[in-house]
Structure 1
Amino acid sequence: MSVRRPPSLARLPYGEGAPPPGTLQARTLAGGIRAAPRAGSTIRFGRGGKPETDLKVGGDDTCVSRRHGELTYSDRSWWLGNTGQRLLRLPRGQLLHTSTEPIPLAPGYTPVFVRGSGYREHLIELYVTDWDDRGQNAKETASTVPPKRWPLDDDERLALIVLGQSYLRYELEPRPLVYRRAVAQLQALRPEFGWTKRRIEERVGAVRRRLHQSGRVPTKLVRDEDDDASDGTLIHNLLRELVDSTTLVPPDLTELDLDLE
């Protein structure tokens, strides 16, 4: 869809040609836009059309504000701010409210979700060209970097599969299996090990400490001194990491049936 853009914002055709470093490309279901990195350049997005916004998102959803947010270039960064009535959601669950200070976008790809009516969320795809990117074409044919999969021994893996069954089914709001039920299931699967709540805690605690000590997991896995983080929260973070890294995958659930047979 062709949309006229004010020349002061240095708009360029979306996706055409090699963009210079710092260029912002933004896209929604309604179209795309590209802006050069010039001080003061601002892209406004929301449900409304011209002149309220430069990029339309959620046009049929009245829970999206007519001007819901904006991106402004300053100090060699594009800054994202919320000007709407509902939250913006970024990766890792980060939320932006109108009272939240604008945040700088990191180079590369950033998805932003505008919360709408019911369970609807409207996607804005943002991409900022890296100032140091000199090998984009070479990367297209480079080998894929696999996720970091964590080593687990057989007992650790089985205990975590039992605890994380709802995570391996990719349920919307997964929770660790309660210890009482986990002990009963593990005793049925491998009675020779003498499973108890304490044994599960020992196995899970050992995994949490190893991952924490690696320094490669951004979420909290162990308590700090005078920390009131609950055990359930720490186990939730651990299971999330193991599933997100594909250390544990849905086919692992078959181990439960096979052991019972």
Structure 2
Amino acid sequence: MNLIPREVSSLARWSLDAPVGTLLVLGTNGGMGVAPNTSFRLVFGRCEPDVHVCVGTTDQHVSRQQGYIVRDQSRWVLNNIGKRSIRLPGSQRLLIGGDKAELPGGYTQLFVVSPREEHPLEVLVVDRPLGKISAFDPRLATQPGETWPLDELEKLVIVCLAQRYLCGDARPQPLTWNQVAAELSELRPTERWTSSRAAHIVAKVRERLSLTVDGLMETDIPPPAGHMINHNLIIELLVTTTLVRSDLSVLDG
């Protein structure tokens, strides 16, 4: 077992050298890594003295011991023993108290669902020898299932569009184009930002990814498409860890 320092902002972009099958979990105040050949039960929840990894530390709706992850033969299994549901990524599937689910290999962001917000809990199950390769290695960025390449301007606009998702809102929606243009105009007052410009930049990204990903074009969605195509884009970028919570820093100005 090894502690993960709180300075690590996200497991999605943390370079490491660990055996296949290693479990890494990151919460509010750091995290923990567990070797694959152990029966150790990693407990997470609100109350720091009672858990190994904290999540929702200031939210009394989250259980003091919300759940645990334990090795079951060749797999890691998530068990919800708390009062709040745990949402799995990329879907509306919820694990209620007493439910359990096998964790897939690779990176997964879970959410403990509270009445006012969702608290993220990052999990990484090492599923291949990583050696010394950094998660920023460009060879990884263009592979299917890995992060999608975005330039600086695309990342800025999409993070602004998706900020409610990255902040952990319980029922997130993309910002409107007018809201995006207004925020970017305030952030970069020397540039000319309009709703059309923001929409055009994101449309180019959707078009590029639509060669591989379904549901990103208006022709893919029964009318009215509304925000759905942007929602689908954001979910794809979250699931592939192209967007992570720490990306909100680009909006700090």
What TM-score bracket applies, with the shorter chain setting the length?
A: 0.5 to 0.7
Q: Which runs of 4+ in 1 moved over 6 A?
A: 167-171, 243-246
Aligned to 2:243: none
Maintained 8 Å contact 2:3/2:30: no
TM-score when normalising by structure 1: 0.52
Matched, 1:122 2:119: yes
Measure the CA separation in 1 of the matches of 2:122 and 2:85: 16
Maintained 8 Å contact 1:28/1:56: yes
Matched, 1:45 2:9: no
Measure the CA separation in 2 of the matches of 1:94 and 1:235: 19
Structure number with larger C-alpha Rg? 1
Shift of the 173–231 alpha-carbon distance from structure 1 to 2, 3 Å rule, reads same
- Deviation of 1:47 (Å): 1.3
Q: Which amino acid aligns with 2:110?
A: V
Aligned to 1:137: 133
- Deviation of 1:78 (Å): 1.0
Maintained 8 Å contact 2:4/2:31: yes
Aligned to 2:156: none
Measure the CA separation in 2 of the matches of 1:133 and 1:96: 31
Mapping for residues 245-256 of structure 1, pairs under 5 Å: none
Aligned to 1:198: none
Q: Deviations over 1:36-91 (max 9, x none)?
A: 113533111111234x4222222221100111111111131111121111111221
Q: Deviations over 1:110-133 (max 9, x none)?
A: 1112123523x2221111111x32
Maintained 8 Å contact 1:45/1:70: yes
Aligned to 1:30: 29
Measure the CA separation in 2 of the matches of 1:137 and 1:22: 17
Aligned to 2:4: 14
Aligned to 1:254: none
Aligned to 2:70: 72
Q: Deviations over 1:148-190 (max 9, x none)?
A: 99xxxxxxxxxxxxxxxxx9798853699xxxxxxxxxxxxxx
Measure the CA separation in 2 of the matches of 1:100 and 1:240: 30
Shift of the 38–94 alpha-carbon distance from structure 1 to 2, 3 Å rule, reads farther
Percent sequence identity is 25
Shift of the 63–142 alpha-carbon distance from structure 1 to 2, 3 Å rule, reads same
Q: Which structure exhibits the higher relative contact order, with contacts defined as CA atoms closer than 8 Å and separated by 6 or more residues?
A: 2
Maintained 8 Å contact 1:81/1:96: no
SS in 1 for 2:90: helix
Aligned to 1:217: 214
Shift of the 93–136 alpha-carbon distance from structure 1 to 2, 3 Å rule, reads farther
Q: Any gaps of 5 or more consecutive residues in structure 1?
A: 1-10, 150-166, 177-210, 224-228, 247-261
- Deviation of 1:19 (Å): 2.0
The RMSD of aligned alpha carbons is 4.3
Q: Deviations over 1:218-248 (max 9, x none)?
A: 79x999xxxxx9754x6664454467679xx
Measure the CA separation in 1 of the matches of 2:232 and 2:149: 10
